[in-house]
Structure 1
Amino acid sequence: MTSTLKLSRIGNSVGVILPKDVLAKLRVREGDLLYLTEAPDGYRISQYDPEFARQMEAAEEVMRRRRDALRELAK
């Protein structure tokens, strides 16, 4: 799918209006956050926050290694 997006002035900023079908595929609506990440082939926009995902992976690793300690603390 290829779409042409027009840049529009929004107050003192410039924004892009996303078509309804794109919003539906991203599963986002007005007020949600989107993330723009640089990729080797250009840029990607998604509802996925790579920094949050990295932090969650680190937390899950700690929880796996310290499972017994966490179990004791939960008592």
Structure 2
Amino acid sequence: MFKTIIHTLDDGSGALLLPREMLDSLNLQVGDQFQIIEAEDGFILRPVCGSFEREMSAARDVMDKYDVALGKLAK
């Protein structure tokens, strides 16, 4: 279980900060988007399925790591 508080911003709105341990355990990154769903007993935070940029970055990492093998398979 993770705990956090809502912080007040200069414009009077609030910001919910997620602990680093939570981000790491859920493989979340700064800039990821969430849906906030009201439930009977609280809220549900649901990540919006990956962004195109993040998915392409992951694909490039894999292609760079296995460049030689992918080149041989392409022949």
TM superposition score normalised by structure 1: 0.49
TM superposition score normalised by structure 2: 0.49
